[in-house]
Amino acid sequence: MQYPEHLVQDLQTLENIPVTADKGPGKTRVALLRDVATVKRTQGPVEVFHYEADSVSQLFITVRERDLGGVAAEIDRIVEQLPFTYALTILPRDTLLAHALKVFPKDKGDARQDPELQRLLKEYFHDEDPEVAEDLREQYGVNVDALNLGKDEHFRERLGPLYEPET
């Protein structure tokens, strides 16, 4: 089934997509997606495609009112960064948590002594939930980006040359 992308405003829009064309005998309404599935936001491929047994990704891009050459240049720039971006996304969660514990400002708290802080850090570095990041900001006055090894500029600079495109 395809649903026009421009009609999707939020998760509720998706939950209310009819999955059948008719109500069926004795039913008062058509079945909706929420009746047969749980809809939630997550990360992952929309579809999995294969080329010679390897998984590949396909990107579908709408240029709308932009010029095709400008869009192509932007796509090339993004594609060149993919190996570096991928390397940052596969950093082990335990490594991210260990780094956060190491660099956590001592004047803001000590996760080794504060079970709530330790729980929040573990939870945040499990899936980088924005709500948990906000809890850390509110309760401890820290910006989680400053604790995240993958977002540390010095680390990124050191890692970057390993992923520069070959010329």
DSSP for residue 38 = -
Beta strands in 16-164 (DSSP E): 49-51, 54-56
Q: Any idea what the Cα angle at residue 131 is, between residues 108 and 119, rounded to 5°?
A: 55
Give the pTM. Answer: 0.50
Alpha carbons 3 and 1: distance in angstroms, whole number: 7
Would you say 29 and 23 are in contact if contact means Cβ atoms under 8 Å apart?
A: yes
Domain ranges (residues) in the chain: 5-36, 93-163
- Where are any strands of DSSP class E within 18-104? 49-51, 54-56
Spell out the per-residue pLDDT of the chain, length 167, in tens: 566 777 888 888 888 888 766 655 655 677 788 877 888 887 776 667 777 777 776 666 777 788 888 888 888 887 777 777 777 777 788 888 889 998 999 999 998 899 999 999 999 988 788 899 999 999 999 998 899 888 888 887 887 776 665 55
Q: Which whole-number Å values give the CA distances from 139 to 4, 116, 125, in the listed order?
A: 41, 10, 17
